[in-house]
Amino acid sequence: MASVSLSRRKGTRDPRHLMRYLKAKAGITPQEIAKSEHVTLRRVEDSIKSIEAYEYQNSDGQLQLAVRDLVISTIPTAKDTINGLLTATTTIERVNAKTGLKEYIKEADKTTRLEGARLVKDLVIGMQPKQPAVAVNVNQTNQTANIGTAETLEERMRRLRSKAQAHNLLPPEVSAVPALIDQKIQDDDGYDGDDEDSDEEE
Protein backbone atom coordinates (compact mmCIF):
# COMPACT_ATOMS: atom_id res chain seq x y z
CA MET A 1 0.00 0.00 0.00
CA ALA A 2 1.33 3.46 -0.85
CA SER A 3 2.16 5.50 2.22
CA VAL A 4 -0.16 8.39 2.99
CA SER A 5 1.57 11.77 2.90
CA LEU A 6 1.70 13.90 6.02
CA SER A 7 -0.24 16.66 4.30
CA ARG A 8 -3.11 14.30 3.56
CA ARG A 9 -3.02 12.89 7.07
CA LYS A 10 -3.14 16.38 8.56
CA GLY A 11 -5.79 17.48 6.09
CA THR A 12 -8.28 14.76 7.03
CA ARG A 13 -7.92 15.37 10.80
CA ASP A 14 -9.69 12.05 11.36
CA PRO A 15 -9.36 11.09 15.03
CA ARG A 16 -10.18 7.44 14.33
CA HIS A 17 -6.63 6.74 13.17
CA LEU A 18 -5.18 8.11 16.39
CA MET A 19 -7.72 6.26 18.54
CA ARG A 20 -6.88 2.96 16.85
CA TYR A 21 -3.19 3.63 17.37
CA LEU A 22 -3.70 4.45 21.06
CA LYS A 23 -5.81 1.32 21.57
CA ALA A 24 -3.05 -0.78 19.99
CA LYS A 25 -0.52 0.89 22.30
CA ALA A 26 -2.74 -0.01 25.25
CA GLY A 27 -2.52 -3.69 24.33
CA ILE A 28 -5.73 -4.19 22.37
CA THR A 29 -5.16 -6.35 19.31
CA PRO A 30 -6.03 -5.03 15.84
CA GLN A 31 -8.57 -7.85 15.49
CA GLU A 32 -10.42 -6.67 18.60
CA ILE A 33 -10.32 -3.06 17.41
CA ALA A 34 -11.69 -4.02 13.99
CA LYS A 35 -14.45 -6.08 15.58
CA SER A 36 -15.49 -3.30 17.98
CA GLU A 37 -15.57 -0.66 15.20
CA HIS A 38 -17.12 -2.99 12.59
CA VAL A 39 -14.33 -2.32 10.07
CA THR A 40 -11.88 -4.56 8.28
CA LEU A 41 -8.61 -5.60 9.88
CA ARG A 42 -6.74 -4.02 6.96
CA ARG A 43 -8.20 -0.59 7.73
CA VAL A 44 -7.17 -0.81 11.38
CA GLU A 45 -3.62 -1.86 10.46
CA ASP A 46 -3.37 0.98 7.93
CA SER A 47 -4.46 3.48 10.58
CA ILE A 48 -1.87 2.20 13.04
CA LYS A 49 0.91 2.24 10.43
CA SER A 50 0.06 5.75 9.31
CA ILE A 51 0.22 7.14 12.86
CA GLU A 52 3.47 5.24 13.51
CA ALA A 53 4.97 6.79 10.37
CA TYR A 54 3.78 10.23 11.40
CA GLU A 55 5.22 9.74 14.90
CA TYR A 56 8.57 8.62 13.49
CA GLN A 57 8.82 11.52 11.06
CA ASN A 58 8.05 14.00 13.88
CA SER A 59 10.18 12.48 16.61
CA ASP A 60 12.74 14.42 18.63
CA GLY A 61 15.55 12.89 16.60
CA GLN A 62 13.99 13.98 13.32
CA LEU A 63 13.41 17.46 14.72
CA GLN A 64 17.06 17.77 15.71
CA LEU A 65 18.14 16.63 12.27
CA ALA A 66 15.85 19.20 10.64
CA VAL A 67 17.18 22.00 12.86
CA ARG A 68 20.78 21.00 12.17
CA ASP A 69 20.08 20.93 8.44
CA LEU A 70 18.52 24.39 8.67
CA VAL A 71 21.49 25.80 10.57
CA ILE A 72 24.06 24.21 8.27
CA SER A 73 22.28 25.36 5.13
CA THR A 74 21.97 28.95 6.35
CA ILE A 75 25.50 29.30 7.75
CA PRO A 76 27.03 30.60 4.46
CA THR A 77 24.37 33.31 4.16
CA ALA A 78 24.69 34.21 7.84
CA LYS A 79 28.46 34.40 7.45
CA ASP A 80 28.16 36.83 4.54
CA THR A 81 25.66 38.91 6.51
CA ILE A 82 27.90 39.12 9.57
CA ASN A 83 30.92 39.98 7.44
CA GLY A 84 28.87 42.74 5.83
CA LEU A 85 27.95 44.14 9.22
CA LEU A 86 31.52 44.05 10.49
CA THR A 87 32.87 45.80 7.38
CA ALA A 88 29.99 48.22 6.85
CA THR A 89 30.83 51.69 5.49
CA THR A 90 28.83 54.84 5.09
CA THR A 91 29.09 57.75 2.66
CA ILE A 92 29.36 61.24 4.08
CA GLU A 93 29.34 64.61 2.40
CA ARG A 94 32.18 67.07 3.01
CA VAL A 95 33.28 70.37 1.61
CA ASN A 96 36.75 70.43 0.13
CA ALA A 97 38.68 73.19 1.87
CA LYS A 98 40.76 73.90 -1.23
CA THR A 99 38.13 73.89 -3.94
CA GLY A 100 35.07 74.72 -1.87
CA LEU A 101 33.17 71.97 -3.66
CA LYS A 102 31.21 69.16 -2.05
CA GLU A 103 32.73 65.72 -2.19
CA TYR A 104 31.55 62.31 -1.00
CA ILE A 105 33.87 60.02 0.89
CA LYS A 106 33.41 56.62 2.52
CA GLU A 107 34.25 55.88 6.10
CA ALA A 108 33.58 53.07 8.56
CA ASP A 109 30.00 52.83 9.81
CA LYS A 110 30.80 52.40 13.50
CA THR A 111 27.18 51.94 14.58
CA THR A 112 26.55 49.07 12.19
CA ARG A 113 29.89 47.46 13.00
CA LEU A 114 29.12 47.59 16.71
CA GLU A 115 25.80 45.86 16.06
CA GLY A 116 27.67 43.17 14.13
CA ALA A 117 30.11 42.73 17.01
CA ARG A 118 27.21 42.34 19.44
CA LEU A 119 25.67 39.72 17.18
CA VAL A 120 28.93 37.75 17.13
CA LYS A 121 29.14 37.98 20.93
CA ASP A 122 25.59 36.66 21.29
CA LEU A 123 26.39 33.76 18.97
CA VAL A 124 29.50 32.85 20.95
CA ILE A 125 27.58 33.00 24.24
CA GLY A 126 24.79 30.88 22.79
CA MET A 127 27.25 28.17 21.81
CA GLN A 128 28.63 27.81 25.35
CA PRO A 129 27.55 24.71 27.31
CA LYS A 130 24.42 25.32 29.35
CA GLN A 131 24.47 24.93 33.13
CA PRO A 132 22.12 22.35 34.68
CA ALA A 133 18.68 23.76 35.37
CA VAL A 134 18.41 22.02 38.76
CA ALA A 135 20.56 23.26 41.61
CA VAL A 136 21.46 20.72 44.30
CA ASN A 137 22.28 22.00 47.79
CA VAL A 138 23.62 19.40 50.23
CA ASN A 139 23.10 20.05 53.94
CA GLN A 140 26.04 18.48 55.80
CA THR A 141 24.06 18.26 59.06
CA ASN A 142 21.37 15.84 58.00
CA GLN A 143 22.89 14.70 54.70
CA THR A 144 19.79 15.60 52.72
CA ALA A 145 19.72 17.10 49.24
CA ASN A 146 17.34 19.93 48.47
CA ILE A 147 16.49 19.85 44.78
CA GLY A 148 15.59 23.02 42.92
CA THR A 149 16.45 25.44 45.76
CA ALA A 150 19.05 28.16 45.41
CA GLU A 151 19.78 30.74 48.10
CA THR A 152 20.93 34.24 47.47
CA LEU A 153 23.74 35.66 49.59
CA GLU A 154 21.30 37.74 51.65
CA GLU A 155 19.03 34.74 52.30
CA ARG A 156 21.99 32.62 53.36
CA MET A 157 23.31 35.28 55.75
CA ARG A 158 19.81 35.76 57.22
CA ARG A 159 19.46 32.00 57.78
CA LEU A 160 22.90 31.73 59.43
CA ARG A 161 22.17 34.70 61.74
CA SER A 162 18.88 33.11 62.76
CA LYS A 163 20.61 29.82 63.59
CA ALA A 164 23.29 31.65 65.59
CA GLN A 165 20.68 33.56 67.60
CA ALA A 166 18.77 30.34 68.32
CA HIS A 167 22.01 28.69 69.48
CA ASN A 168 22.84 31.60 71.80
CA LEU A 169 19.47 31.21 73.54
CA LEU A 170 20.28 27.63 74.57
CA PRO A 171 21.35 27.06 78.23
CA PRO A 172 25.08 26.54 78.84
CA GLU A 173 26.14 22.94 78.73
CA VAL A 174 29.37 21.33 79.95
CA SER A 175 30.33 18.65 77.51
CA ALA A 176 33.09 17.00 79.61
CA VAL A 177 34.53 17.47 83.13
CA PRO A 178 37.90 15.88 84.01
CA ALA A 179 37.58 13.17 86.64
CA LEU A 180 40.47 14.66 88.64
CA ILE A 181 38.30 17.68 89.47
CA ASP A 182 35.41 15.64 90.88
CA GLN A 183 37.36 13.08 92.94
CA LYS A 184 40.74 12.52 94.53
CA ILE A 185 42.93 9.78 93.21
CA GLN A 186 45.10 7.98 95.73
CA ASP A 187 47.87 5.51 95.02
CA ASP A 188 48.49 2.20 96.76
CA ASP A 189 50.47 3.84 99.66
CA GLY A 190 47.64 6.17 100.42
CA TYR A 191 49.36 9.05 98.71
CA ASP A 192 47.06 11.89 97.91
CA GLY A 193 48.22 14.35 95.30
CA ASP A 194 46.02 17.09 96.73
CA ASP A 195 47.67 16.70 100.16
CA GLU A 196 51.06 17.50 98.70
CA ASP A 197 49.70 20.63 97.13
CA SER A 198 48.12 21.67 100.42
CA ASP A 199 51.40 21.10 102.34
CA GLU A 200 53.31 23.26 99.90
CA GLU A 201 50.78 26.00 100.29
CA GLU A 202 51.12 25.89 104.05
Residue 65 CB coordination number (10 Å):
11
Q: What is the mean pLDDT of residues 145-165?
A: 73
8-41 pLDDT, tens digit per residue, is 545 446 788 888 888 998 999 999 999 998 999 9
Query: pLDDT digits over 101-151, tens only?
Result: 888 889 999 999 999 899 888 888 887 887 765 555 555 544 444 444 567
Domain range list for the chain: 8-58, 74-126
Q: What is the pLDDT of residue 155?
A: 83
Taking the alpha carbons of 156, 162, 168, 173 in that order, is the dihedral positive or negative?
A: negative
CATH 1.10.1060 fits 8-58, yes or no: no
Range 39-66 average pLDDT: 87
